Chains A and B, each alone.
Chain A
Amino acid sequence: MNIICLVKFVPDITGFTYDYHASAMVREHTRMVLNPDDECALSFAFKLKEQHPESLIHVVSMAPSSVVPHMHDLLRLPVDRGTLISDPLFAGSDTYATSEVLGTYLKSQEFDVILSGSRSLDGATSQIPGQIAQMLGFDHMLDITDIDVGRTSRTDAVFSIEGEKETTTWSMQLPGVLSLARSSTCKLPYPSYADLQKDVSDKLTILTNKELGIDSTHIGLEGSLTKVVHTYEANSRIREKTVVEADDEGIEFVFSYLKERGFV
């Protein structure tokens, strides 16, 4: 099988810190990590490759060039090639413009299946895979928790989804887009000690818009159809802490608090 694995590197939110004096999130020390859902997607790519040893895994990411060391780390695993789509012109792209860039690139590629994560840790809006599926005219499924690699071939995929109430098993014709949800069982293999230092730069292609040739009005800030106009901190835990007693009044507060947020 020809597998394309779409991955994103996201800021590690555990490294997020809050500057109470400047009332701002300190992001300069933030470290990038492979988005956990995407890690699951890649781990299923490896499982598919185990089942179909002739498979080729191609990891594709759109990101600033600072993620090159992370791409190299992935290429030290059983990944056959990597493509990093990176151009300052893409900076500021919203999901619409991002899927435009990725979709344009993917149209030029041959593959049987695109694997991606369902949600990203930073945005968590699950838009890119669906929009890419739309651009390519493929089926797409979100929140997949397991791929039945034995029953998956170049023409059909079988997978299941653990919903809140039921587990459903599906089949889908390929090519198509499968988005994996993070689950506790996903784990990437380790590179060997010798491979840790291996130069894998020849497996990585870095593409700019020069190669892709997308109309500059369709990318970056100009190509975006949404715009972040205001950012503020949601981390108000310490400031907004409400203290109540375990009496009727307190319970009423807790109850409405839970109800407002849809837990009751």
Chain B
Amino acid sequence: MVRNHKMENFPILIILLYFFRNFSIFIDITNMAPYHKDKWVKYLFGLVTQTLEESVNNEMIIEQLKTVLKPTQINTNSEDLYDASADRYKKYAKARKVLDVPSPLAIVYPDSPEQVRDLLVFCNTNQVNVIPRAGKTATEGGLENWKEQTLVIDALHLDRIINIDTYNMQATVQAGVPLQELEDALRKDGFTTGHSPQSKPVAKLGGLVATRSIGQFSTLYGAIEDMVVGLECVFPDGHISRIKNVPRRSGGPDIRHIVIGNEGTLCYITEVTVKIFKIYPENNTFYGYLIKDIDTGIKILREVMVNGFRPSVARTYSEEDAAQHFYHFHKNKCVLLFMAEGPEGIVKATGEAIEQAVEKFKDGIIEQVDSKHIENWFNNLNWSQQDIDDEFEGMKEHDSHSGFTTEISADWSTITEIYHNVIKRIKEDYPRYHDLTLLGGHSSHSYINGTNMYFVYNYDIHCAPEDEMRVYHHPLQRIIVEETLKLGGSMCHHHGIGKFRNEWTKMEHGSAYYMLEKLKEAFDPNGIMNFGTIFPQEEGKKYQ
């Protein structure tokens, strides 16, 4: 429909396009024999025609969009499109204006599930790639664009808090509602979502559900998958599914989990209902300790968890990581910290349990830290849009940046082994180890059977900005992922797979990858949903 213009030329043009996009061609034809010269001129002319051809198609897509949406719902501002072509994964290259990926054709802002449906049907019919977006804080390339013809469908206008039901303890919102907004609305009446990722001031509910997000208080409240009660989503064929809100049911597989964590590869989330909790800020209690090593920290975390307690925060940091977070009290030691919250009796019992666990491993404890430091730190932890903008400016200014991470999880018996193996292998194998300014990690989300490990590494960049990821982050991430998978852990605790861990998706899931593949085949047979995310793609490798 869109490409009916000169349809007969289409296959040839695609081939040219393929070559054109993969190679930079510099040909000096001035001294060529006339025959060759003629041939090259014709060839190059063909390339130009093809580019024109493509632009016609792109324009027609935009024209078609206007039949579905109002002009104000279609954004083709080139700066915004550049911004939309990558997420925080390639933030440094983005800041330096050297991104190697194509820009999307437009960012569109539907204001109803029906408009989402129309857009998806349009894209599905015309093989236009779709990147669903809400909040824009992805870190693993989930929002990066790898296709020439892509629409970013942003939940900006799906911004209504539909219902806060404090009797049944659940809140229903559209996908584009910022978590902060919902949280503020709940706090007014003494409730909380219990969800507090560092991105809270910016992140939106749709994105949080799509990426299986986790928050800082997960050890008590659980991660997003524990909070979602029901939801509404739209599939590429236009089907709108609503999963109703019930306390529990035994009917069939839990279909919420097809949607939660799909990272925009199966469907578009338009609405979610989450649990809410009573909040008792006056009971919050903080504990901080300087400890001998990270192994001691993990042992104490385990002790508290397996004894059946759920502090809202339970964390332990390596020396290096502690130094960057707690510069005013770390004294170059590992740090262990807890926060207990909830009703008074629970906080008291949890606090006692923490103190008992600390007592049990007292040989590894160096000293207790003033709890005020821990409280202060928590109050300043989250990243606002201003912080993100500032980081961006900072990257333009300096040849280094901080804050690259890879987060994994494993059971209690292997987590420290993975940690030490990773650090050892990076020291021994990584060729640019001498550029690392920081290498360490922390555990920040614990479960009864294990915990996570958040590896952090900063480095000075001694390569071109566009090469940064393949010179630094990716080889480091590879070591972390390989060491984790080797010992049976998960390579992605809470940032999702995105586009840069997709080469290990099959290893992550092993024989269960079959189930993921079938879901993709069933719900997105034309492969228009977020090309390259989760599912590895040969064609996308050039951007990796």
Contacts and interface: CB of A to CB of B under 8 A. Distances in A.
Interface of A: 12, 14-15, 17-21, 26, 29, 31-33, 69-70, 73, 187, 190-193, 196-197
A220 B431 CA distance: 32
A190 B399 CA distance: 10
B436 A196 contact: no
A252 B39 CA distance: 86
B470 A193 contact: yes
A33 B437 CA distance: 10
Contacts of A31: 434, 436-437
B463 A190 contact: yes
Interface of A is mostly: mixed
A26 B463 CA distance: 29
A16 B400 CA distance: 18
Nearest to B329: A238
A70 B460 CA distance: 13
Nearest to A70: B434
Nearest to B332: A17
Interface string B421-438: 000000000010010110
Contacts of B320: 29
Contacts of B431: 197
Nearest to B464: A190
B471 interface: yes
The 7 residue pairs across chains A and B that have the minimum distance between CB atoms: A193-B467, A190-B464, A17-B332, A20-B331, A190-B463, A69-B434, A19-B332
Interface string B452-493: 000000001011100100110000000000000000000000
Interface residues of B, number: 18
Contacts of A187: 399
Contacts of A191: 462-463
A5 to B, nearest CB: 17
Contacts of A32: 434
Nearest to A66: B434
Contacts of B467: 190, 193, 196
A187 B397 CA distance: 12
A196 B332 contact: no
Contacts of A20: 331-332
B471 A17 contact: no
B323 interface: yes
A15 B467 CA distance: 25
A151 to B, nearest CB: 30
Contacts of B434: 31-32, 69-70
Contact of B437 (A12, A69, A190, A197): A12
Contacts of B471: 193, 196
Contacts of A14: 437
Contacts of A19: 331-332
Given A17-B323, A31-B436, A26 B462 contact: no
Given A20-B331, A191-B462, A193-B471, 12 more contacts: A12-B437, A17-B319, A17-B332, A18-B332, A19-B331, A21-B366, A31-B436, A70-B434, A73-B462, A190-B464, A193-B470, A196-B463
